[in-house]
Structure 1
């Protein structure tokens, strides 16, 4: 199973506000193994831009703290699965939790 997971970052940890992150960690997985890790800088924040931008990068899943409902809908329209309400950790820790079905999701901390 090949997956590409995007994680919004601020200071190397999961960013609590998806649309205002400094970077994205893009981590590729194949057969339950991490095959590639990259840090990419997003374009300037513009509502609705990031879902299509990440889809063009091959992203299949997103791990986020908080995200607006409209962004979730736009990701779903791109067939990208969204996990929200996740507490900050390093990208690799989050992906390992995700791969091992230990990723804890909670309330979406973004209400707009």
Structure 2
């Protein structure tokens, strides 16, 4: 019986040493992935911000286009010329915006 307990204790010590080696190896490998994963996390944060604040993004892009091109007059002229396309695009998005802003109905209807 005593020999059996000694074998179990030795086996446990060997397994603990193996676990410690594997933990060190995993830590070394994870250090290699730290910078790429941090960049991916930053990209996800940017995407979440853009999805949460589309007005700011659209306004910023519009402002950059107005400033970079020929000014506000050119932007107004271009918008006036292309308003049917812009209007139809907006009308196509309107049902999607309504669906996204609806709250789910959790009431149970019994018939």
TM-score (ref. length: structure 2) = 0.21
Q: Name the structure where strand makes up a greater proportion of residues.
A: 1
> Which is bigger in relative contact order (C-alpha 8 A, separation at least 6)?
1
The structure with more radius of gyration: 2
Q: Name the structure where helix makes up a greater proportion of residues.
A: 2
